[in-house]
Amino acid sequence: MSTALVGRPLSTEPATVAWCAQRGHPWTTYNPWADRTWCRCGARQSPGQMPPDWGAKWELFHDHPYGVPCRCYLPAAQRVSQ
Ligand SMILES: [Zn+2]
Ligand SMILES: [Zn+2]
């Protein structure tokens, strides 16, 4: 196991663990360097790239209603013009 060597973009705060457990530890984070996928709190992980849980990812990373067109991943310049 080499996971200790990899900076894991996770939080293990109780609120985060509760959020994650409520949703069954959905896959939210894939690290291509480690070729490994984590749930948000890290309790669940798997080698390789697992299909992400888009609902959970939306809750974590998006600041607009679910289902509307997403511009979160566009450069800021393109976001203002739309
Ligand atoms: Zn979790
Ligand atoms: Zn979005």
pLDDT tens column, 2-53: 444 444 456 788 999 999 999 999 999 999 999 999 999 999 999 999 999 9
pLDDT of 7 reads: 44
Tell me the torsion sign for CA atoms 69, 73, 79, 82: negative
pLDDT of 19 reads: 94
Ligand nearest to the CA of 22: 1
pLDDT of 81 reads: 54
Ligand nearest to the CA of 17: 1
Between the CA of 73 and the centroid of ligand 1 the distance, in Å, is 24
From the number of C-beta atoms within 10 Å of its C-beta (0-12, 13-18, 19+), residue 72 rates as exposed
pLDDT of 60 reads: 86
Between the CA of 46 and the centroid of ligand 1 the distance, in Å, is 12
Ligand nearest to the CA of 44: 1
Question: pLDDT (tens digit, 9 = 90+) per residue, 50-80?
Answer: 999 989 988 888 888 888 888 887 776 665 5
Between the CA of 5 and the centroid of ligand 2 the distance, in Å, is 31
